[in-house]
Chains A and B, each alone.
Chain A
Amino acid sequence: MATTYEPVIGLEVHAQLFSKTKMFCGCSISFGAPPNTQVCPVCLALPGALPVPNARAIELAVRAALALGCTVNERSVFARKNYFYPDLSKGYQISQFDLPLNTGGKLVIDTPSGPREVGITRIHVEEDAAKNLHGVGHGTDTLVDFNRAGTALIEIVGEPDLRNADEAEAYLKKLREVLMFVGVNDGNLEEGSFRCDANVSIRPVGQEKFGTRCELKNINSFRFVRKAIEYEITRQEAVLSAGGTITQETRTYSDGLGKTIPMRTKEDAHDYRYFPDPDLPPLVITRAFIEKLRVTAPELAEQKRTRWQKELGVTLYDATVLTGHPKIADYFEEAAAALAGKDASPEARAAAGKKVANFVQSEVLRTVTTRGLEAEFAVSAEYVAELLRLVEGGSISGKMAKDVFAEMITTGRSASKIIEQKGLSQVTDTSVIEAAVAEVLAANASQVEKYKAGKTSVVGFFVGQIMRATKGAANPQLVNDILKKMLDAQ
């Protein structure tokens, strides 16, 4: 009988901290600068240069840890991880080893069988390596750009609690969302500020002991993570089913080949000779500082979704779309609050929330451009609220609102200004509407007969005709009321 295997997956995520400068020196980390223009004696490892830790990076690392339910250790130690590589200027990476900043957290992910808790072993602070550029120069040389070298990172080591590629993807997406909502990481996979390695092994179902694991590298998109893990599980199953054994190794994912392939590694590659960095005394942060960060922690997407469903009249689906980016979530909340106004009743707040949610999803979202933690909106939340207030007050119809919104994007003007200038105000004069209704009914006697015979679906036809006659300016609610009254009176 063929053995059934259960995959065991643990992810290690490297997330760049959203500071202005590097972990141990004052060089800027802005993206896209010409190579080797954001470097100094410290990050180039010139002789005599020394590291000094970035306060902001430490704060961000603690914020991440608190958001992930970690214990923040008041005393942690920077350690050197020694190995030679051209992208590592000092010949060692400053990281943390046996005394990391944060330990023992968790992340809850949604799976088809319900929410699932995934353990987080530790979150430590470290510095990024430089970038090796291959095939750029004239010859065979590799070119090294140290702009990225020394960028502050956290490494989030997850427990081997994941059981398939879906869960791995869900974990990564959730983790990225958390880090973005606390403002720690910009979630930019393409630019490499959020990177992932996966440890994958399989074991016969029911077996406690883990199988031999392989470490997958170069899986820097959600799609690659999924494909690489799926491939690796299948590969390991094939090896074991054929009576073979898994070799513990590092493998890289090749999208071109659609598979993972072993990386060439040296036998001594893992003797990193960690020891406490003598250039850096222990990192000591106070309980008070941790508590201050705890109470000022921003609301996470998960919390927003729950609260919005309760308070802002939105569905889980709406809330999920609107928490797609922290700035969109802020935008939604701002517009909803502005529309509801101060001291609004819970019902009014819920109604306003629902209206804003619908409008943002149908109109605003396609005009938003996001880049990292930043987002650009064509129209401010305040203007959108004003526009929706005009609809609410009956000044314009919902349909007109869309045209006005388009006009707001191109002109940058407010809704009221546009309406005033274009004379777009909605027709609410009942005598005007009554005249239009009478005219339409008179011109369509056969349809009126059908209505009288019980075919109420013709109402839609009449409304269309009336709106056309009023060039869309008639208040739809009034049209409906008057039409019904006059039809019944026929």
Chain B
Amino acid sequence: MTSQALCALSGIEIQKKVASGDVSAVEVTNAFLERITHQDRKLHAFLYVDAEGALAQAATVDRARKAGETLGPLAGVPVALKDNLCTRGVPTTCASKILAGYVPPYDADAVERLRRAGAIAVGKTNMDEFAMGSSNENSAFGPVKNPWDETRAPGGSSGGSAAATASSMASFALGSDTGGSVRQPGAFCGVTALKPTYGRVSRFGLIAFASSLDQIGPFARSVREAARVLSVIAGHDARDATSTTTAVDDYEAECGKEVRGLRVGVVADALGAGVDAEVVKATRAAVAKLAELGCEIVDVSLPHATHALAAYYLIAPAEASSNLARFDGMRYGLRKTGDDLTATYGTTRAEGFGPEVRRRIMLGTYALSAGYYDAFYVKAQKVRTLIRRDYDAAFKKCDVVLTPTSPTTAFKLGEKTSDPLAMYMADIFTLPPSLAGLPAVSIPGGYSADGLPIGLQLTGRAFDEKTLVRVSDAYERASGWLSRRPSEIV
């Protein structure tokens, strides 16, 4: 098979071919490495390509096959990892100068699980610094370009993972989602992007942004691939005190099922002012399609969702201000030595962190500081309770909630960089499920007139990723969007 043909295969097909010996994992890996060399000059989705490590892992898979061992569900399948996932012996920077060149001594739990399943980690993907951003323009090492239109943002913060998946530089990728950082770039890049329930995937080895919200999730070009990856990375980990013991379902088994009788909740407010007409149109069309498939469409409301943005921009920065205190230039990472200890701290952190990270540290420190804690932080957490209650009420009437993933399609690079608040608005639909800890998936739901993907977001009950997969897969099959790919980069 040609390199190009190999890279066009789904991860499911690649695993099957590697397991049967039709093609070796090393061949697959070489094909993808070649493609990265070619494609990534323009896209800049990768911060580090680990050719050596990938080929070594591939050789291990091939040896195991020759020895007659049973191969894992992702054997020989190339994966791209967001650069906030710790990888043993491979640089992990969070796209920040403060961690430039940092090499962790251990693998994140999700990375360990992928390796055990036979996946080949080809490299670390670009992101907004410390996962703070919605466009990837906050990377200290330059932004990622959207594979559908290189003048546009791929979304953020997991933009590199989304772009790498969309442009087939890896079969799938892992990202992290705090307020939409998997789903929104998934929508902008036209791929399936799933944020599991909080606690579903271990956060051990995920460099924290906001600990009560962070969750690792997969990007894939199809729902079935995303489901398989989720089955691999999900599960209890004793090293993460917030990791759940709730049993992991066979998500892939949900693919190909009927959705007749499932109730889809539609939020009228999510199709109102401030949402692009084309996005509204695509969402309505998706609702109609699901109705055609036999779903029952019900109106639901999330009256407190409008407060999600305000609550999120208190909670996430507050936690971040504390989580990022460890980057102090004392034990690892950048150190800018000043006149004394205090100056060393201040200079290291002011120079090591980019503007958005500094802004959020400041905002979070302010929200937690004496005299403001109750008014800001505690109040925001109470609003979170109200949002959870909204969902509790909604899920009495429906099984999944459908909204757009983002109010717009991918915006132009540079379009929103001067206005942090305008940028934050890109997350209005992804924030409520995050605050409630609920699983949510973004799937391609059509294309704008200028050919940009539009994302649909489905939110489910806690630990009910199964139903999300079932509905997403049914819609994917019915809609035919799966065949649409960005044109090749030349």
Residues of chain A at the chain B interface (Cβ within 8 Å) = 41, 44-53, 80, 82, 84, 86, 89-92, 144, 271, 273-275, 277-281
Contact = CB atoms under 8 A, between A and B. Distances in A.
B368 A275 contact: yes
B372 to A, nearest CB: 10
B60 interface: no
Interface in B198-241: 203-208, 210-212, 238-241
Contacts of A281: 241-242
A23 to B, nearest CB: 12
Contact of B242 (A49, A275, A279): A279
A46 B104 contact: yes
Contact of A47 (B102, B241, B328, B330): B102
Given A84-B328, A89-B331, A51 B241 contact: yes
Given A82-B322, A273-B373, 19 more contacts: A45-B331, A46-B331, A46-B332, A47-B86, A47-B99, A47-B327, A48-B85, A49-B204, A50-B203, A80-B322, A82-B321, A82-B325, A86-B328, A86-B341, A273-B365, A275-B373, A278-B211, A279-B211, A281-B242
B476 interface: no
A203 B232 CA distance: 67
Contacts of B212: 278
Contact of A275 (B106, B204, B239, B377): B377
Q: Could you say which of B341, B365, B368 has the most chain A C-beta atoms within 10 Å of its C-beta?
A: B368
B447 interface: no
B340 to A, nearest CB: 10
Nearest to A90: B326
| CB-CB nearest 8 A-B residue pairs | A91-B325, A278-B212, A278-B211, A273-B368, A47-B207, A45-B326, A48-B205, A48-B86
Contacts of B238: 52
B166 interface: no
B108 A50 contact: no
Interface string B318-344: 110110111110111000000001000
A91 B349 CA distance: 13
A465 B101 CA distance: 90
Contacts of A86: 328, 330, 341
B369 interface: yes
A41 B106 contact: yes
A46 B211 CA distance: 15
B68 interface: no
Nearest to A82: B322
Contacts, number: 98
A48 B208 contact: yes
Contacts of A280: 241-242
A91 B212 CA distance: 18
Contacts of A45: 326, 331
A181 B199 CA distance: 40
A275 B318 CA distance: 9
Contacts of B207: 47-48
B124 to A, nearest CB: 13
A477 to B, nearest CB: 68
B121 to A, nearest CB: 16
B203 to A, nearest CB: 6
Contacts of A273: 321-322, 365, 368-370, 373
Interface string B78-92: 000000111000001
Nearest to B341: A86
B48 interface: no
A349 B275 CA distance: 89
A92 B325 contact: yes
Nearest to B92: A47
A375 to B, nearest CB: 36
Contacts of B321: 82, 273
A92 B108 contact: no
Contacts of A46: 86, 104-106, 331-332
B105 A41 contact: yes
A49 B326 CA distance: 11
B411 interface: no
B369 A50 contact: no
Nearest to A273: B368
22 contacts: A46-B86, A46-B104, A46-B105, A47-B92, A48-B206, A48-B207, A49-B205, A50-B240, A50-B241, A52-B239, A53-B241, A80-B322, A82-B325, A86-B330, A89-B326, A91-B322, A91-B325, A91-B326, A274-B373, A279-B242, A280-B241, A281-B242
Given A41-B106, A84-B345, A47 B368 contact: no
A53 B94 CA distance: 27
A279 B209 CA distance: 12
Nearest to B349: A84
Nearest to B106: A41
A49 B345 CA distance: 22
Nearest to B344: A86
A278 B178 CA distance: 13
A48 B331 contact: no
B326 A279 contact: no
